[in-house]
Chains A and B, each alone.
Chain A
Amino acid sequence: MSKCLERIYNGLVKENPTFVLMLGMCPTLAVTTSAVNGIGMGLSTTAVLIMSNMLISMLRKIIPDSVRMPAFIVVVASFVTIVDFLLEGFVPSLYDSLGLYIPLIVVNCIILGRAESYASKNPVLPSIFDGIGMGLGFTVGLTCIGIVRELIGAGQIFGMQVMPEFYEPLTIFILAPGAFFVLACLVALQNKVKNNYAKKEREVPQTAGCGEGCAACASRGICGGHMISDISVSFEVDQPEDTASNNGGTENKKEQEGV
């Protein structure tokens, strides 16, 4: 049981997908125009994550290693389709405001990342709790950003007026540029915390995500472990990646670990 609780703590705090791992940036920026949208997107993703983690963990001994990525994608896409129809049927208002981003949960790196790095290697119960923890961490992250943007951009939280009458809402914060600014400030805040940790010579928490390099990125298996920011290097050296990338993720991963 303690292992299950540890997974939830891990997802919520230690490896929070939004603030620490910086995964799934597209929905993070796109749907957080209000706190309600943030919660809706977070919970939809959580549902998909729990179900896909469970099924992939059940099937982990059946799925051959060489075709695991397509298999994972099919599993995830099926659950996304189910969630898509459930939302359309039961919460049409949320469905309308999230729109295209619900089917795009399929390409959210968090889900495939957890499938690859946790569910495909661990028993069913811890995988389910890993899904719950990661999903809740993502929900908390989206809701926080949603609250900040809604508060500054509309003077409201969850649709309730909280700012005093004379406050003029800065509409730009619920438009596209505001998303970039809020996220920039959050990452800067996180950098500040990390710098303080480094000054006090304590253990620095690892961050990852495509902006920061793939070292700890969970979706390394999908993008083949090419560190995106290092592409210019491998581009000039012309490594034997050309042959490896045709053989799927496994080859690359071994190569990467060898390096």
Chain B
Amino acid sequence: MQELLLIAVGSAFVNNVVLSQFLGICPFLGVSKNVKTAAGMGGAVVFVITIASFVTGLIYKFILGNPNIMGGELQYLNTIVFILVIAALVQFVEMFLKKAMPALYNALGVYLPLITTNCAVLGVALTNVQEGYDILTGVVNGFATAAGFLVSIVLMAGIREKTEHNDVPESFRGTPIVLVTAGLMAIAFFGFSGLI
């Protein structure tokens, strides 16, 4: 239990997926204009990454890493299988939500197709395999990583809402000032490295 907690805190804050591993930079910069949409994107990412780490964990345990199938030599297919599974999964999740939970679908709907190209999803799936996590640990790691993404994108959106009308030097308007903000946030997140 304690080990799981350590992994969760480690991937949510200490090795924050955006601010120290640079995964999912595109949505972090693109969808952080206001808190509401940022929270929507973050929620969708939490949802998809958690499911994706469960499904890829299952596939790895019972097919790719299974010593009874081809002597466990299928691991070279990890990248190809995972990216296809994630792409298909996103489509399925979208269809399922639309039928079964229209309310949730309306909240997350537009963000779901964008998540396939979020490298954090594939990154978490591959990390789980590389670190040799079992399925439960993998799911916890995935959920915590995504929670870290949610925290940082919502914080970023909050800061951007506050600083929107500030007098920024002309060349730094737009993307550059967002990047500087992200850099300062990354420094702040260094403070968590004493936690573990």
Contact = CB atoms under 8 A, between A and B. Distances in A.
Interface of A: 22, 25-27, 29-30, 69-70, 73-74, 77-78, 80-81, 84-85, 100, 103-104, 106-107, 109, 112, 172, 175-181, 183-185, 187-189, 191-192, 195, 209-212, 219, 222-224, 226, 228-229, 231-232, 234-235, 241-242, 245-246
A180 B186 contact: yes
* Smallest CB-CB A-B distances: 6 pairs: A180-B183, A228-B30, A184-B179, A210-B26, A30-B22, A77-B80
B123 interface: yes
Given A212-B175, A235-B110, 8 more contacts: A100-B127, A103-B126, A177-B186, A181-B179, A185-B176, A191-B171, A224-B114, A246-B91
29 contacts: A22-B175, A30-B22, A70-B84, A73-B84, A77-B80, A81-B76, A100-B127, A100-B130, A103-B78, A107-B118, A175-B190, A177-B190, A179-B183, A180-B179, A188-B176, A191-B170, A192-B170, A211-B178, A226-B110, A226-B113, A226-B114, A229-B30, A231-B31, A231-B37, A235-B40, A242-B98, A245-B112, A245-B113, A246-B95
A175 B176 CA distance: 18
B186 to A, nearest CB: 4
B51 interface: no
B87 interface: yes
| Interface of chain A, main secondary structure | helix
B91, B119, B174, B182 — most chain A CB neighbours (10 Å): B119
B110 A180 contact: no
B171 A231 contact: no
A224 B113 contact: yes
A78 B76 CA distance: 10
A86 to B, nearest CB: 12
Nearest to B119: A107
Contacts of B37: 231-232, 235
A213 B79 CA distance: 29
B19 interface: yes
A90 B41 CA distance: 40
A228 B176 contact: no
B46 interface: no
Contacts of B21: 30, 100
B176 A184 contact: yes
B176 A187 contact: yes
Interface string B162-183: 0000000111111111111011
Given A106-B79, A235-B40, A187 B175 contact: yes
A97 B20 CA distance: 15
A135 to B, nearest CB: 19
A245 B34 CA distance: 24
B153 interface: no
Nearest to B130: A100
B95 to A, nearest CB: 7
B50 to A, nearest CB: 19
Contacts of B190: 175-177
Contact of B111 (A69, A183, A219, A231): A231
A187 B172 CA distance: 8
A194 B149 CA distance: 32
B80 A81 contact: yes
Interface string B11-42: 00000000111111111011101101100100
A182 to B, nearest CB: 9
Interface string B58-73: 0000000000000000
A175, A180, A212, A231 — most chain B CB neighbours (10 Å): A180
Contacts of A183: 179
Contacts of A187: 175-176, 179
Contacts of A210: 26-27, 29-30
Contacts of A112: 117
A104 B26 contact: no
A109 B34 CA distance: 25
B146 interface: no
